[in-house]
Amino acid sequence: MAGLALLQLQVSVDDSWLDYFIIGVYFLFVLGIGAILRKRMRTSEDYFLSGRSLPSWVTGLAFLGANLGALEILGMGAGAAQYGIMTAHFYWIGAIPAMVFVALFMIPFYYGSRVVSVPGYLKRRYNEATRGFNAVLFAIFMILLSGLNMYAMAIVFQLLLGWSITASIFLSAGIIMCYVVLGGLSSSIFNEVLQFFLITLGLSPLVIFALVAAGGWSGLQESVNRPEFFHMWADTGSTSNPMAANWFAIIFGLGFVMSFGYWCTDFLVVQRALAAEDLAASQRTPLIAAFPKILYGILAIFPGLIALSVFPDLGQSPGLENSYNMAIPYVMAYYLPTGMLGLGLTALLASFMSGMAGNVTAFNTVWTYDIYRAYIRPDEPDGHYVTVGRVATVVGVLLSIGTAYAVLAFESILDYLQLLHGIFLAPLFATFLLGMFWRRTTPWAGFAGLLAGTVSGLALWGFELMGAISYGSPMAGNFWRALWAWVICFGITIIVTFLTSRSQKTDEELEGLVWGLTEKKEAVEPAWYKKPWILAVAALAITLVLNIIFF
């Protein structure tokens, strides 16, 4: 049946000029935005932070749009087909609480100090060694994620349109390179807003049509015939659930370490909030993004479950091994008619380009500000750094082409992505927590903890590859590995702090960098419904209700 569905999709695309027309118009529109915004890129702040002039509704949708890459579309659909509705934990436990935290606590620190990158904060709070180490790690992280988006785009084109992986990778690389080089962060942000609407319009009818055809939620449960795939918490008292993860690993490994590590310290998303027009708009940015993020717990997860009702042997039977990544394209092949199929394919293209463009713009910012200007050419004119940023974009895209092929070694996109998050972001979050809320943390303690946490994450993964450690599933391993990397970083930082207490920075040096030494300025927002605390409580309440409904 899988082969028949793919054949149907191939024929419908090949025979319909409408599908190609929709995709072509999208590409032209994307490049047009970049060309128009090129004239506005006069300074490095224009290019890297959009001049901090954008309204919160734009940065809010872009904040989410930067996250709507391969993870959100193919990744979460694959996760649902592999682990069931437990994958929704990545939204309702692994996203919303952290997005609230970054809005209420992290953004005032970033915005008040006018840092242009996470490594920039690390330099001021700790030292140059900590900043440099994190800058290199983050640049590598962004290239790996960019390659992930390239790979996702390539396998869709290969299986659905008959294109080769190599041709698809180079096509996506060319489009991304053009519009990011032209327009910088503003180009990415406005395209992310466009892509958010395209993705929503592409996935919404797919979920509706498929649920109607399956006989609703109860009919879907009957056709899948795997009761354990329709509970989020009921089987987490032990590891006898599809994810092989108990409640402790989910809450602390995913909900605390991995989630907060991503949303609070990944400059790819923080950068969007910093581009807002003022502090109030910056704080609203993650909260505005939280509400559609809640919705995507349905739009991205349900297609994966629906795929199991149509292809029950997905990822298991001969010829379908490791095919979880294709859950959503398979469902598109089965349900969407010509024309709407073009819209669905455009939504997929939007997700890949959104994620990849976000990775590349974050890479060129960190490379230019925190590596090139800091260590190579520190005293050049502002225009020189804009040029370097554009060159870094081209280099980043070329490097991403190589890393795209690394994804072939993993069972699913979601497993691979969470592996990267656990290794790169979990230790960084521990370093941030201690730096922001414990004034005694010393400069070299921050460096030692970050180094130890990162190395330990890599070492634990190595032991798993050798078979010395087993957690029951790749995702459970990701949760526990991230938690251990965080604990090791946290512990080493505290120990080294006491050993190097004489090098502690003065209160004057830490002013504006540590919670207890920072003047608390509240954002001025006269409209009650725009106040950050009101939006935060509403988002958390909706999330709690959904966790109860799908318990």
Domains of the chain by residue range = 2-47+68-549
Mean pLDDT over all residues of the chain?
A: 80
Asked whether residue 1 carries a pLDDT value surpassing 50, the answer given is: no
Task: Determine the average pLDDT of the residues in 206-210.
Answer: 86
More confident residue, 476 or 59: 476
Name the DSSP class of 425: T
Q: Which carries the bigger pLDDT value, residue 484 or residue 468?
A: 484
**pLDDT range class, residue 114, cuts 50, 70, 90:** low
Position 348: which residue type?
L
Which range is least confidently modeled, 104-113, 144-153, 246-255, 457-466? Answer: 104-113
Mean pLDDT along residues 332-352: 74
Give pLDDT, residue 139: 87
d(CA 210, CA 218): 13
Q: Where residue 33 falls among pLDDT bands split at 50, 70, 90?
A: low
pTM over 0.95: no
Residue with the bigger pLDDT between 46 and 145: it is 145
CATH number for domain 2-47+68-549, candidates 3.50.50.60, 3.65.10.10, 1.10.1060.10, 1.20.1730.10: 1.20.1730.10
The predicted pLDDT at position 7 comes to 39
192 CB-side CA count, 13 A: 32
Using the predicted structure, report yes or no on whether residue 35 has a pLDDT greater than 60: no
Question: What single letter denotes the amino acid at residue 67?
Answer: N
pLDDT in tens, 427-481: 999 998 999 889 999 999 999 999 999 999 999 999 998 988 889 899 999 999 9
pLDDT recorded at residue 545 = 96
Longest CA pairwise span in the chain (Å): 73
Q: In terms of Cα–Cα distance, which of 155, 143, 64, 241 is closest to 413?
A: 155
Q: What is the pLDDT of residue 3?
A: 45
Amino acid making up residue 26: Y
Strand partners, 270: none
Tokens encoding 273: 């909030």
Give the model's pLDDT for residue 182: 56
Whether the per-residue pLDDT at 250 is higher than 60: the answer is yes
Asked whether 317 and 326 are in contact (CB, 8 A), the reply is no
The DSSP annotation for 170-219 comes to HHHHHHHHHHHHHHHHHHHHHHHHHHHHHHHHHHHHHHHHHHHHHTHHHH
